[in-house]
Structure 1
Amino acid sequence: MDLSRRTLGKFAVATGAATAIGAGAATSAEAAFWKVTGTTVPALTGFDSQMKTFMEARGVTAGQLAVTYKGRLVLARGYSALETVPVQPTSLFRIASLSKSLTAAAILRLEQDGKLTLGSKVADILGITVPVDPRWSDITVGRLLQHLGGWDRDVSGDPNFKDATISQALGVPMELKHADVIKYMTNQKLDAAPGTKYAYSNFGYMLAGRVIEKLSGLSYEAYVQQKLLTPLQIKRMALGWSIAKHTGEMPYDSQWAAKTVLDNSGTLVRAPYGSFSMRIQDANGGWIASAPDLVRWAKMFDAPGAVLNSTSLGRVWAQPETGIDPGGWYYGLGWHVRPVTTGGTGRNTWHTGSMSGTSTLLVRTYHGMSWAVLFNRRDDPSGKPYGDIDAAMWTAAKGVTTWPTHDLFPQYFS
């Protein structure tokens, strides 16, 4: 398989019935508006062209892109298709499952500081003493991070999006708390023996967030900000909210509506605003960020010292006990990994993110490039796949004949 067309991870979707609300592609009048912010870089106009083509084909009103080369930020752009949605390079978007690399790194920092090992038992740390399935005793922190905990959402559904089911089963009101989801899941059988089957699990990462809180004595958000982001001068990132927006955060679009999970009223809401709980998603998909923030974060994985040492960074890319997927990739700690044999780091690494109102991609290539792409929707009446942005970015990168020598990082981080 061409390395530019990497297998992307499965997307998390809100469960339950959804209703179309007609929020489709931009009208012809709206489509005529196009604004790009950030420094124009003539050598990299292929990236701008790919973003415009992608967004116009799907009626995406807000997009953002940051590109690095050899550790330098060479492009940071905001793209607006509506005059009422002004996007800056520093605007904030929900990043969905790109959050997992932060959670995995936080666990590694705890290990680095002697608070746990990847072999530590999750049930012991969290005081889970009477789960229905005794195989909980085999769930380690490392297995959470590599989606080997034993839960399979293709079999039993994604508990992080089963709010109404859990509310009814436990007799508790929505909006749920983390403890409600954990209590519900300890009363369910595992779908597989821990360590035997890769199955993407948002719940596993949600549990990892609780491990971080238990062992650090801080909230999950505070620990990540203090130990991971502040040393890198990343100040804009925060946990997002279900309804309210942070200053500079983009609005989110979807063609769907669904019942709110923020209370038991049954009110029909626009899917990005209450059909799932951002509070529940924190450690598996709750962060908001700008594209420059994300490539700054990605750069950390090439530079041992400020956040993680070389031993910890090596663990990020280690193969899981189940080995490599037949497609040639595996899941490390918070990243998909595809080994390559053409030099450089010897691997391409990436993660996707998807929630109603959000589609994101973060890529690190074996030969020193990285990019983060953020959009404020993931569905529209065109039916065109949003995963196509992966190939579009590779096309743009391959079209660059001379990479710029400037570095925009000082412009956005100080």
Structure 2
Amino acid sequence: MTTLSRRRLLQTGAAAVPAIALGARPARAASFSLPVTGVVPSSMAGFDQAMQKYVTEREIGCAQLAVAKNGKILLARGYGSYTRTTSEGRVFARVQPTSLFRIASLSKNITGAAIARLAQDGKLSLTAPVASLLGLSADADPRLAQVTVTRLLQHLGGWDRAVSPDQLWADHTIAASLGISLPVDHADIMKWSTARKLDYDPGTKYAYSNYGYMLLGRIIEKVSGMSYEAYVKQKLLAPAGITRMKLGRSLMTETGMSEVTYTSKLTNKTVLDDSGTVVPYPYGGFNMPNQDANGGWLASAVDMVKWGFVFDKAGTVLNSTSLSRIFAKPEIGMNSGGSWYGFGWSVRNNNVGTLNTWHTGSMPGTFSFFARIQNGVSYCAIFNRREETGSPDFDSIDPILGQATGTVTTWPTTDLTPKYF
């Protein structure tokens, strides 16, 4: 769902991000209309101009941007519009700063925080073997016994989607192998995966694993005695003052007006039944509820930057020990670029003695980016489509927002957080 290897790794914050001219590409459609909502202080106009150009170049229908500094939301913007069919007909809506988007793998730092909270409360050991916690058999591969909670969190669990299928996107293969009907659920995915050998020795290399984070969701449920969604809402989001976020559903008919619609040129055979119907990929081409702990959350950009405040300092959600664990280097150390993967965050040192942390999210119909950089600045951008064949590079949002940060000479003082509670 997320490819980190192509990302520019926020080496030292805005000042050191490679400059990319905001006028590098011509607009793709002169007639492309872009309604906007929300608040943009004049001193932060560079952010808005960059986003409008980025969205227009890619003809993105729905997007959001939120920017914060030192615990205050300073910019909140919605871009574009969408229509949704309801019982009363087709309804038109402009994207608001509070509209909900699928955030894909930005969900991983939420799951990482939930695991850290369980450990903080003395309910879970981070060194516990996952097979024992979930009752998984290691008969197919004894190395499964070496997979710990921490190794799942840091993508060191032994599954490599460059070698074997990504279990969260192999519904048809799993159903056929198990001789069952679609849709498959978490238990089916675990049964199929556990019967297969690992791709490498756990703890020896980094390989991004959506399945590993799906397993973390099941651990949260097993240890807490609550559903994954209920635990996160009660123990993490509510204390942080976040009320809108929820897990997403697969079909447009299952969503409300506050959630944008998603766009993709791609189609897939539905994974929700055995009909073989070819559907738009974002709506039934994958099973959204199965993504939950891996990539299933709905949020707005303002929700995400507010969520990011939880990691700024110890508080009611996470204590200092938990924060240290979340951003600690893994047993394999840093990669060749000087960054590492923590509990749902990519991490690196910056040149002011603090950490830059970030993540991207990507699935058909969604691209998202969230970064916390030096000097207390954070920003989140979310879009209702992702890069596909023939479209401009979506990863360029990273240096573009970094460059926009450098255009702010005076940061505003008005806190928008109460406006978007």
| TM-score, scaled to structure 1 | 0.91
How has the CA–CA distance of structure 1 residues 131 and 367 changed in structure 2, closer, same or farther, with 3 Å as cutoff? farther
Secondary structure, counterpart of 1:76 in structure 2: strand
- 1:56-75 aligned at under 5 Å gives the runs 56-75=56-75
Secondary structure, counterpart of 2:116 in structure 1: helix
What residue is the counterpart of 1:6 in the other structure? 9
- Residues 97-147 of structure 1 deviation map (CA, whole Å, 9 limit, x = unaligned): 000001011001110111111101111111113440011110100100000
How has the CA–CA distance of structure 1 residues 186 and 131 changed in structure 2, closer, same or farther, with 3 Å as cutoff? farther
Q: Say whether 1:367 aligns with 2:370.
A: no
State the 1:85 CA deviation. Answer: 4.9
Secondary structure, counterpart of 1:360 in structure 2: strand
CA distance in 2, matches of 1:194, 1:246: 41
What residue is the counterpart of 2:352 in the other structure? 343
- Residues 350-391 of structure 1 deviation map (CA, whole Å, 9 limit, x = unaligned): 000000000000100022100010000003564211101111
How has the CA–CA distance of structure 1 residues 40 and 129 changed in structure 2, closer, same or farther, with 3 Å as cutoff? closer
Secondary structure, counterpart of 1:359 in structure 2: strand
What residue is the counterpart of 1:77 in the other structure? 77
Whether the 8 Å contact between 1:34 and 1:82 is mirrored in structure 2 is no
CA distance in 1, matches of 2:412, 2:237: 27
CA distance in 1, matches of 2:307, 2:314: 12
How has the CA–CA distance of structure 1 residues 189 and 82 changed in structure 2, closer, same or farther, with 3 Å as cutoff? closer
Whether the 8 Å contact between 2:43 and 2:408 is mirrored in structure 1 is yes
Alpha carbon RMSD of aligned pairs, Å? 1.7
- 1:14-413 aligned at under 5 Å gives the runs 29=31, 31=32, 33-80=33-80, 84-243=92-251, 244-340=254-350, 342-344=351-353, 346-380=354-388, 382-413=390-421
State the 1:177 CA deviation. Answer: 0.6
> Which segment is superposed worse, 211-220 or 33-42?
33-42
State the 1:281 CA deviation. Answer: 0.5
- Residues 199-249 of structure 1 deviation map (CA, whole Å, 9 limit, x = unaligned): 000000000000000010000000000000000110000000000213400
Which amino acid in 2 is paired with 1:291?
A
CA distance in 2, matches of 1:380, 1:82: 20
State the 1:407 CA deviation. Answer: 0.5
- Residues 166-220 of structure 1 deviation map (CA, whole Å, 9 limit, x = unaligned): 0000011111110000000111000011101100000000000000000100000
What residue is the counterpart of 1:17 in the other structure? none
**Which aligned runs of 4 or more in structure 1 are off by greater than 2 angstroms?**
25-29, 81-85, 379-383
CA distance in 2, matches of 1:219, 1:150: 26
CA distance in 1, matches of 2:366, 2:404: 22
State the 1:339 CA deviation. Answer: 1.3
Whether the 8 Å contact between 1:58 and 1:382 is mirrored in structure 2 is no
Which amino acid in 1 is paired with 2:130?
V
Whether the 8 Å contact between 1:278 and 1:286 is mirrored in structure 2 is yes
CA distance in 2, matches of 1:366, 1:113: 30
Whether the 8 Å contact between 2:131 and 2:145 is mirrored in structure 1 is yes
CA distance in 2, matches of 1:27, 1:34: 11
CA distance in 1, matches of 2:35, 2:187: 44
Secondary structure, counterpart of 1:109 in structure 2: helix
Which amino acid in 1 is paired with 2:59?
G
| Structure 2: segments with no counterpart, 5+ residues | 1-6, 12-26, 84-91
Which amino acid in 1 is paired with 2:193?
M
> Which segment is superposed worse, 95-104 or 123-132?
123-132
Whether the 8 Å contact between 1:351 and 1:362 is mirrored in structure 2 is yes
CA distance in 2, matches of 1:367, 1:387: 23
CA distance in 2, matches of 1:78, 1:26: 21
Secondary structure, counterpart of 1:207 in structure 2: helix
State the 1:81 CA deviation. Answer: 6.0
Secondary structure, counterpart of 1:283 in structure 2: helix
Secondary structure, counterpart of 2:329 in structure 1: coil
What residue is the counterpart of 2:14 in the other structure? none
How has the CA–CA distance of structure 1 residues 82 and 170 changed in structure 2, closer, same or farther, with 3 Å as cutoff? closer
Whether the 8 Å contact between 1:119 and 1:140 is mirrored in structure 2 is yes
State the 1:313 CA deviation. Answer: 0.5
State the 1:71 CA deviation. Answer: 1.4
State the 1:328 CA deviation. Answer: 1.3
What residue is the counterpart of 2:17 in the other structure? none
Whether the 8 Å contact between 1:238 and 1:287 is mirrored in structure 2 is yes
Secondary structure, counterpart of 1:269 in structure 2: strand
Among the aligned pairs, what percent are the same residue? 52
CA distance in 2, matches of 1:368, 1:113: 28
Which amino acid in 2 is paired with 1:364?
R
- Residues 47-68 of structure 1 deviation map (CA, whole Å, 9 limit, x = unaligned): 1111111111111010000000
How has the CA–CA distance of structure 1 residues 260 and 364 changed in structure 2, closer, same or farther, with 3 Å as cutoff? same
| Structure 1: segments with no counterpart, 5+ residues | 9-24
CA distance in 1, matches of 2:194, 2:97: 43
Across the two proteins, how many residue pairs are aligned to each other? 390
Which amino acid in 1 is paired with 2:166?
D
